[in-house]
Amino acid sequence: MAAPQPPQVCRGIIKQVLSGDAVIVRGQPKGGPPPERQINFSNVVAPRTARRATSNAPETTDDPYGWESREFLRKKVIGKEVLFTVETKTSTGREYGSIYLGKDIATGENLTEVMVAEGLVAVRRENIRESNLIDLEETARSQGKGKWASDDAKHVRSVKWTCENMRSFVDKAKGKPIEAVIEHVRDGSTVRCFLLPDFHYITLMISGIRCPMNKLDSEGKLDKSSSEPFADEARYFTESRLLQRDVEIILETFNNNNFVGSIIHPNGNIAEALLREGFARCVDWSIATVTGGPEKLRAAEKQAKEKQLRLWADYKPSSLTIADKDKEFTGKVVEVVNGDALVVKRQDGTTKKIFLSSVRPPRLPDSDTPRPPGKNFRPLYDIPWLFEAREFLRKKLIGQKVHCTVDYIQPAQNNFPEKTCCTVKIGDVYSQQPSARLPRRPSY
């Protein structure tokens, strides 16, 4: 009788850690997102983490040490190259095997043994052949390590799956970096994450950009035929850099049931990277809220346009180009026209009307809203906060020397003339209008 063949040794990158005993391994990308496999550790079982309610299943809570088990493994292997073998495969296609961290399986670190030794998984003792796993478990149990300690109640999280008052939450956290772990990448510019240490689970749209998205059919399944070009590639670009990484998030505003903010990662700004590679476009409705201003995002998008990368493959420069000598100028503010418009007298004596980039002043919520009866409609005084917006800008800027950088020229449209849109600074301070309102996010 022929001896059984040793299992084949495969190589891959840890994309995601599902629990202390299961991971997603991906291959190397070749012309697109790479193939993936879920590998479950043989002969052990990890405590489970909480799951939010879905249409098919109720909400669950953590098993004691479920989060610690997953986090220990995540921090050890996420994004790293590993070796793995598949020893058994069930009728449903689930694969069980061993994973090694190192150059070869002879000298590599066996992750199943590591997790047992830390007391973060339990050994399935029925029909087990690896007596070393039992020995490791007995040692961990005698030392009170991990799940064998006697303080289970202290190791169950209280996860907040919903936020009752998003405005209050943003106001409280705004401008302050919050530690987070990215749990899911919905598309290139939308992620779901846990905010630490309180375990608020949120959906976050990245400020200032929009990536192409995959479309779903009437049954909620992926419809590739109607998905937008580069949706898969943009999602993979973000996923391979951020999924299950430790990041910091700055919440800046919210839209419907989604938070909007910036993601801070030691390797750089993901929004800039997506724009620079042609995987995203700048969007005016949220770019004004970006921490630090929109200039870097617009510059990154401009690079992709000039190189005609991906989304910009058919890009042709607009006739409304800005001459180098007109891109920046200084002058004195001689008139404030509105909450987003002013007139600047330049050093050569000429005057120029400019608009603040990416914002708009208050306006009526609907163009069909009836005007107040019995008097002439005066927008400056009859539109709520419009007068206050103009006054804020007037008191801040009138007679002041300013530095203007032209960001873009908005073409004439709908009987409105062409607009020169600028970033305006007094010294090192941006002139941004706190009472300006952003347009509603368009429905995609």
Please report which confidence band the pLDDT of residue 380 belongs to, taking 50, 70 and 90 as the band edges.
Answer: confident
Please report which confidence band the pLDDT of residue 216 belongs to, taking 50, 70 and 90 as the band edges.
Answer: confident
Q: 27-59 as b/e, with b when 16 or more CB fall inside 10 Å?
A: eeeeeebbeebebbbbbbebbbbbeeeeeeeee
Q: Residues 292-326: pLDDT tens digits? A: 889 899 999 999 999 999 999 999 876 667 777 78
What's the mean pLDDT when you consider all of the chain? 89
What burial class does residue 101 get, using C-beta atoms within 10 Å of its C-beta: 0-12 exposed, 13-18 middle, 19+ buried?
A: middle
Of 13, 54, 8, which is closest to residue 33 (Cα–Cα)? 13
Average pLDDT, stretch 231-260? 95
| H/E element, 426 | strand 419-426
C-alpha angle with apex 25: 19 to 15, nearest 5 degrees? Answer: 70
Predicted structure pTM score: 0.77
**Percentage above 90 pLDDT, the chain:** 70
Within its chain, how far is the Cα of 355 from the centroid?
30
Q: Residues 30-89: pLDDT tens digits? A: 877 899 999 999 999 999 999 999 888 999 999 999 999 999 999 999 999 999 999 999
Higher pLDDT, 307 or 217: 307
Neighbours of 196 (CB within 10 A): 14
Higher pLDDT, 131 or 345: 345
| Tokens found for residue 256 | 């419907």
**Cα–Cα distance, 205 to 212 (Å, whole number):** 13
Please report which confidence band the pLDDT of residue 353 belongs to, taking 50, 70 and 90 as the band edges.
Answer: very high
Answer yes or no: is pLDDT of 221 > 80: no
Q: Residues 112-157: pLDDT tens digits? A: 999 999 999 999 988 676 679 999 999 999 999 999 998 999 999 9
Please report which confidence band the pLDDT of residue 372 belongs to, taking 50, 70 and 90 as the band edges.
Answer: low
C-alpha angle with apex 318: 313 to 319, nearest 5 degrees? Answer: 145
Residue 438's contacts (CB-CB under 8 Å, 6 or more residues apart) are 253, 284, 285, 286, 288, 289, 359, 360
Higher pLDDT, 254 or 415: 254
